[in-house]
Structure 1
Amino acid sequence: MTYTGNVTKGGPADVREVPGLTISKIEVGGFGNNAYLLRCTETGDGLLIDAAAEPDRLIELIGDMPISSIVTTHRHPDHWGALKEVARATGAQTVAHPLDAPELPVEVTREVEHGDRVTVGVVTLDVIHLRGHTPGSIALLYQDRHLFTGDSLFPGGVGNTQKDPARFEQLFTDVVERIFDRLPDETWVYPGHGKDTTLGAERPHLPEWKARGW
């Protein structure tokens, strides 16, 4: 079946095969959070992005194969509600940016900065620091074509900055300079809530995002 990225609470994961990775997207929790399981097709190693809620469902999604890392995209509790339980069950290292790591419910075993890399099996993901939604929000990029953005970029705009002009300007600038100016239209965006999009679908709307200030 064709991957759409459209998932529902309590429903099955949507699974996508890309060169080197299997990507499984699932919706969990009461805020429509997306969690993503990335699995290296060569080694079977896995990485979970945002252990947001419903630890039993996430552990079931992971199954019997190992995961080596759980990456938390930012400090907001709806993105780490199941982190303690899933980390305990899997023994995976926990990964976050140092500016958000102290707010998480577990000791972060690896802190990552802009430009660092995270590996899953033989696959490498680039860390992109996107300041504004929270101080330590990060995205993960695979082969310039698959971008996991947490709550920093969605279909229709950047993440919530609580109507703070300075925070909006910082996030908008980071998203433009570190994502849109660098990556092609074909790059697929996997956000922290809701449906997926592409940079090509969103790029024409950047001026209106800037003008409206959110």
Structure 2
Amino acid sequence: MSWSLCSTHGVSSSIALTYGFRHRRRSTFRIFATSDGLEPKDDPPESPLPSSSSALGKDLKKVVNKTAATFAPRASTASKNPALPGTTLYKVFEVQGYASMFLGGVLSFNLLFPSSEPDLWRLMGMWSIWMFTIPSLRARDCPSKEKEALNYLFLIVPLLNVAIPFFWKSFALVWSADTVAFFAMYAWKLGWLERTE
């Protein structure tokens, strides 16, 4: 809170009271004293209040990025990521990511190493997107929007994989839900569905 006293031409003076709270707009209230009396005047607000949805979105993004940066696999050195776009390593990580997604689908649908019982292969297929696809794609030096989508997926996919079997015990369904979540997140974050003029 701050006070200021201003005087103009010796006839009138004003007292400005500025107050502000954290995460709220700053307001100023001025009282002008003249020979006729007091004239209260409100200054227009300095900045509009951010909408609660955008503030919530920013907080959520911060939490997701911090959690993914803490727990997701990352480079072991502080040097620049060598998997730059256009390099062989970048392409290897990309092919590895999508190939592991495809192979996970084949395993979870019980097409490879078929078994009438739940087994390790089908379980690996169900978790393939989280264990192999997302880390492989995150290992590249990808754009910030794509990295953000992968950070969200790193947290969402385990929730789906744990929650879905409570309602429907199917390896194929879990893999399918992970795949839908994957492409839906990419469509949202990378703006695939936005109209281009």
TM-score per shorter chain, which class? under 0.3
TM-score where L is the length of structure 1: 0.21
- Structure showing greater radius of gyration is 2
Task: State the TM-score, normalized to the length of structure 2.
Answer: 0.23
Higher helix proportion (structure 1 or 2): 2
Higher strand proportion, which one?
1
